[in-house]
Amino acid sequence: MNRNQKIKLYLFIVILIMGILFPVFFPRLSIPFGFAYIVYLMSKPMAVRLTSGSKKQRLTYTMVTLTGTLLLLFPLIVTFYNVDTNFESFLLDLNRTQIILDEKFHAIQSNILTKFGIRLNIDPAKMLMSKLETHGLSLINKFPEYLSVLFEWMLLVPLFLYFFFIESHKLKIRFLEIIPNPIFEKTYVLFSQFNTKFGEYIIAKFIEATLLGLIVTLGLLLIGFPYPFILGLFAGITNILPYIGPFLGAIPGLLIALLSNDPNVSLVGILVIFTIANLVDMILVFPLLVSKIVNLHPLLVVVSIMIGSQIAGVLGMVVIIPFIAFFKLLFKEIYKDLSVHL
């Protein structure tokens, strides 16, 4: 490698390190940047199809950005519009839950006292309420801060998205210029494959989560279960996490079923709905959509999710899978090259 190539290599490594450290030092900027990049990768295939052979690319990109922004804004506006009524209904339900919890606990306490002669000196309802009060208060205190961050994102995400649509090709060409010649071809192809895989994975997970959320919502509506939309949404979001997600998604529904005295609220009903939804996901959606994109061993997926959660919380749990798939691809390529040259 000559002097120029060595300088290029050092520059490339420095830029890579800066790219890795960027989220650590500038989280306020890197989170909307990363989110916009994910939305860009998701909407890119559609945008390319819309602009195929056309000269009106800028108009199409503007339309895609505006549509994406409206789609993001709509649920937020609806949520904030109903925030006071939702909060009131939540407080009412919380009181009801405390009474039911008290009743159930006293029944268990008297059972234990008569059968074993042991008196339990704990009050779970009181403990739960005091915890909820503390967390609830801190949430309310931080609400204006969250709101300002959210509005900042609402401004930055569409801006970055539009920038990705218009400038990403030029930016990519400039970035690739600094890659040294000996590793150029491989780096470029791996970089493209990662982008494609990442985009496809996010789209596939989005479709999978939407379908599961829809099945759960419709099922809950059919049996007259309370909060069908919120529970469906929660089940859809948690389903983004492979293997662990379906169990997490069922917890709120199961808790409501356990703590409710309402005859419409059936534990068996909700168990059946979640089982059907997850069977459809496991048998149809996952094999057809996701597994083809990310061909990883289940154990590796679970370990990756745990590592991802330690690095970057819930976001880490979601994005770690395509990264692991990329590293698998990278090691495969290195191994192939070594086996040829050695």
Partner 1 sequence: MTYEKEMSEKISRGESTEDKLEIPLLKYLWNSSPLSFGKKDGLHSFFKNITVLKSFTDNEVRIFTKFLHRREFQNQEVIFNEGDSGYGFYFIFSGSVNIFINHESQSAPGEFVLKLEKSQYFGEMGLLEEFNRRTATAVASENTVLLGLFKPDLEMMLEQYPVMGAKFLRETALIMAERMGQLTKEIKVLRKKISRLESKL
The piece of 23-31, 152-160, 185-193, 313-321 that touches partner 1 (CB under 8 A) is 185-193
Give least dist CB 55 to partner 1, A.
6
Task: Round to whole Å and give the CA distance between 174 and 167.
Answer: 11
Q: Count residues contacting partner 1 (CB under 8 A)?
A: 27
Give least dist CB 184 to partner 1, A.
7
The single residue among 24, 25, 141, 177 that binds partner 1, judged by CB under 8 A, is: 177
Give least dist CB 179 to partner 1, A.
9
**176 scored as a contact of partner 1 (CB under 8 A):** yes
Please choose, from the candidates 44, 21, 42, 22, the residue with its C-alpha nearest in 3D space to the C-alpha of residue 33: 22
**192 scored as a contact of partner 1 (CB under 8 A):** yes
**51 scored as a contact of partner 1 (CB under 8 A):** yes
The single residue among 88, 167, 185, 262 that binds partner 1, judged by CB under 8 A, is: 185
Give least dist CB 318 to partner 1, A.
25
Residues 228/221, Cβ–Cβ less than 8 Å: yes
Cβ-based neighbour number of residue 61 at 10 Å = 19
DSSP 283: I
Task: Round to whole Å and give the CA distance between 279 and 281.
Answer: 5
Half-sphere exposure of 264 (CA within 13 A, CB side): 9
Give least dist CB 191 to partner 1, A.
8
**173 scored as a contact of partner 1 (CB under 8 A):** yes
Give least dist CB 176 to partner 1, A.
6
Interface map 317-336 toward partner 1 (x if CB under 8 A)? ----------------x--x
**338 scored as a contact of partner 1 (CB under 8 A):** no
Query: Which residues form the interface with partner 1 (CB under 8 A)?
Result: 2, 4-5, 48-49, 51-53, 55, 169, 173, 176-177, 181-182, 184-186, 188-189, 192-193, 333, 336-337, 340-341
